């Protein structure tokens, strides 16, 4: 690994007027423009520099944020301010300070770094560095500058313009070497408010994406995932020219993406272990058909391999061998796909690794040939000239029905080293997902009494089955009462 030495200077130009006068005017105008907001992002700029190094794409990035605190309660925004970094986004340097209304610079002296993981993730190599801006008060400006080296240029993150506070200027700037070609897509709502410009400077092209006066994020109950509506830019390297002048494809289309994806699985499951053979043989010895074999194996994996999420460097992309997963009796989505694929193929059922995005993601392989399209992996089988999608991470999913979160999504199915298919997962018919909820009431001398009956099919049945699997037995009665509640108390 090459050492990267980077010296970053953050320079702010001072105006000729006294700083406190300018600041007072600025604060007054901001309070009028953004009434009731506790803080406003004055400037959020994320800059990428994409060049060639050792005949390969090389990416550096840095981020600048300036947040002005507007109301006296704004100190709630100073708590746990921070930034992320990981093995793929190597942290180089960072700096944070507060510029007070009377032009004093107070540097942040304490930074804390910890694992940044979702509640459902057992291990995550993404780290979060947090801190508190000192002396937060109306008119104070928190300043943050961070620099990274992006270790894998295939994995460039989208840039989201909005945040939890409104932004006067939100901007992405991508400087690209003349030997590199990039593509971009504007996604989400209100993309018409994003201005795009391309400037040639020396031998580089500079792409600038800017959103002025960007409103703060809004949360919507039962809304689709954030990426469906929040305005953002996806950008990626299409190809580049090597030192001989040849054009080298990078992520120009789905073929390029499949070559990348296949590199993650090509060395997995080179041979089946004796233990796994024994399990498959015992499950299928009396099975009369390939379908019955597939059903039996799928049910065994659902019941015996526990889903545990991992995000650990390349472990977030490369499945573990089926034998290891079998020995551990747990694994992430890729591991579940690995053991399913290995067991099914050994039993004579054609089974394939499959990359897919959940319904939280708005992207398609056919339109956006990038790794970010797929945040999940499943197993697909070919049975009776029909493709069936099996998600081992869902212990309640019925054979023949896709997991609810993958319906209507494009799936990239690995047939072999050279061949793949992109198929759309079907949406299950509405009449297969039903709730029949019946209440019988009787007026008695002692008051109103009755009974309730619910009959559920499809995903409704799977959902309640999952709850019954994981509910604490001590609280089972209360949980069931909540499921059958017939009124909602309105607080006074």
User: pLDDT of 378-403, one tens digit each?
Assistant: 999 999 999 999 999 999 999 999 99
What was the pLDDT predicted at 271? Answer: 95
Average pLDDT of span 57-76: 87
What was the pLDDT predicted at 225? Answer: 87
- With b for 16 or more beta-carbon neighbours within 10 A and e for fewer, the 55-67 pattern comes to eebbbbbbbbbbb
> Could you give the CA distance from residue 263 to residue 259 in angstroms, rounded to a whole number?
6
Angle at CA 205, nearest 5°, toward 201 and 211?
Answer: 105
What was the pLDDT predicted at 77? Answer: 60
- With b for 16 or more beta-carbon neighbours within 10 A and e for fewer, the 382-405 pattern comes to bbeeebbbbbbbbbbbbeebbbbb
Could you tell me how far CA 196 lies from the centroid of its own chain? 25
Q: What is the DSSP letter of 4?
A: -
Give the pair of three-digit tokens for residue 310: 């991992």
| In the predicted structure, residue 445 carries a pLDDT above the cut 80 | yes
**Residues 6 or more apart whose Cβ sits within 8 Å of residue 369:** 251, 252, 253, 254, 256, 257
Name the fold adopted by 20-252.
Immunoglobulin-like (2.60.40)
The dihedral over CA atoms of 298, 302, 304, 309, expressed in degrees to the nearest 10, equals: 130
List own/partner pairs for 29-35 with CB under 8 A and 24 or more apart: 30/68, 30/70, 30/168, 31/70, 33/213, 34/70, 34/166
User: pLDDT of 222-266, one tens digit each?
Assistant: 788 889 999 999 999 999 999 999 999 999 999 999 999 999 999
Q: What is the mean pLDDT of the chain?
A: 88
| In the predicted structure, residue 278 carries a pLDDT above the cut 80 | yes
Residues forming beta bridges with residue 84, ordered by sequence position: 128
What was the pLDDT predicted at 33? Answer: 86
In the chain, DSSP finds a helix count (H) and a strand count (E) of 9, 26
> Could you give the CA distance from residue 472 to residue 123 in angstroms, rounded to a whole number?
24
| In the predicted structure, residue 179 carries a pLDDT above the cut 60 | yes
356 neighbors 406 (Cβ within 8 angstroms):
yes
| In the predicted structure, residue 48 carries a pLDDT above the cut 90 | yes
pTM of the model: 0.86
283 neighbors 296 (Cβ within 8 angstroms):
yes
Higher pLDDT, 343 or 448: 343
The dihedral over CA atoms of 171, 159, 63, 44, expressed in degrees to the nearest 10, equals: 40
Which regions of 70-140 does DSSP assign to beta strands (E)? 81-85, 89-99, 105-107, 112-115, 121-124, 127-131
Question: Taking the domains of the chain in order of start, what are their residue ranges?
Answer: 20-252, 264-424, 431-483
376 neighbors 431 (Cβ within 8 angstroms):
no
What was the pLDDT predicted at 118? Answer: 55
Give the pair of three-digit tokens for residue 253: 């289309």
Q: Highest mean pLDDT: which of 138-142, 324-328, 478-482?
A: 324-328
Helix (H, G, I), strand (E, B), or coil: what is residue 138?
coil
User: pLDDT of 87-102, one tens digit each?
Assistant: 888 999 999 999 999 9
Q: The domain 264-424: what is its CATH number?
A: 3.10.620.30
Note whether 20-252 and 264-424 share their fold.
no
- Give the closest residue to 394 by CA, choosing from 344, 465, 325: 465
């Amino acid at each position: 690994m090459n050492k990267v030495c980077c010296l970053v200077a953050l320079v702010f130009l001072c105006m000729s007027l006294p700083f406190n006068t300018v600041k007072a005017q600025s604060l007054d105008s901001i309070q009028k423009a953004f009434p009731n907001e506790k803080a406003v992002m004055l400037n959020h700029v994320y800059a990428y520099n994409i060049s060639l190094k050792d005949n390969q794409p090389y990416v550096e990035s840095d981020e600048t944020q300036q947040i002005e605190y507007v109301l006296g309660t704004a100190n709630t925004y100073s708590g746990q301010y921070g930034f992320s970094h990981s093995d793929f986004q190597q942290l180089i340097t960072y700096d944070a300070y507060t510029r007070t209304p009377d032009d004093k610079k107070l540097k942040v002296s304490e930074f804390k770094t910890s694992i940044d993981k979702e509640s459902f993730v057992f291990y995550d190599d993404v780290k979060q560095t947090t801190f508190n801006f000192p002396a937060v008060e109306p008119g104070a400006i928190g300043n943050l500058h961070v620099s990274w080296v992006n270790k894998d240029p295939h994995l460039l993150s989208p840039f989201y313009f909005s945040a939890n506070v409104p932004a006067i200027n939100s901007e992405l700037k991508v400087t690209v070497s003349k030997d590199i070609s990039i593509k971009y897509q504007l996604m989400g709502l209100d993309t018409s408010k994003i201005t795009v410009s391309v400037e040639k400077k020396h031998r580089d092209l500079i792409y600038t994406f800017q959103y002025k006066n960007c409103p703060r994020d809004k949360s919507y109950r039962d809304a689709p995932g954030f990426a469906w509506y929040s305005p953002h830019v996806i950008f990626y390297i299409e190809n580049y020219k090597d030192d001989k002048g040849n054009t080298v494809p990078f992520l120009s289309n789905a073929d390029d993406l499949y070559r990348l994806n296949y590199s993650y699985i090509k060395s997995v499951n080179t041979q089946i272990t004796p233990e796994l053979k024994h399990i498959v043989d015992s499950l299928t010895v009396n099975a009369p058909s390939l379908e019955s074999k597939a059903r039996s194996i799928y049910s065994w994996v659902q019941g015996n391999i526990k889903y545990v999420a991992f995000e650990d460097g390349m472990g977030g992309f490369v499945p573990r061998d089926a034998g290891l997963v079998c020995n551990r009796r747990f694994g992430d989505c890729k591991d579940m796909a690995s053991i399913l694929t290995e067991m099914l193929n050994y039993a004579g059922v054609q089974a394939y690794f499959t990359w897919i995005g959940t319904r939280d993601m708005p992207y398609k392989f056919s339109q956006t040939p990038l790794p970010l399209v797929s945040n999940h992996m499943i197993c697909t089988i070919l049975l009776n000239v029909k493709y069936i999608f099996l998600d081992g991470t869902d212990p309640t999913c019925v054979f023949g029905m896709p997991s609810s979160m993958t319906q209507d999504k494009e799936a990239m199915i690995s047939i072999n080293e050279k061949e793949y298919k992109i198929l759309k997962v079907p949406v299950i018919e509405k009449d297969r997902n039903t709730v029949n909820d019946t209440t019988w009431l009787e007026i008695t001398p002692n008051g109103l009494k009755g009974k309730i009956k619910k009959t559920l099919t499809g995903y409704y049945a799977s959902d309640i089955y999952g709850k019954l699997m994981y509910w604490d037995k001590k609280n089972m009665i209360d949980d069931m009462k909540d499921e059958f509640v017939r009124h909602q108390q309105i607080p006074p």
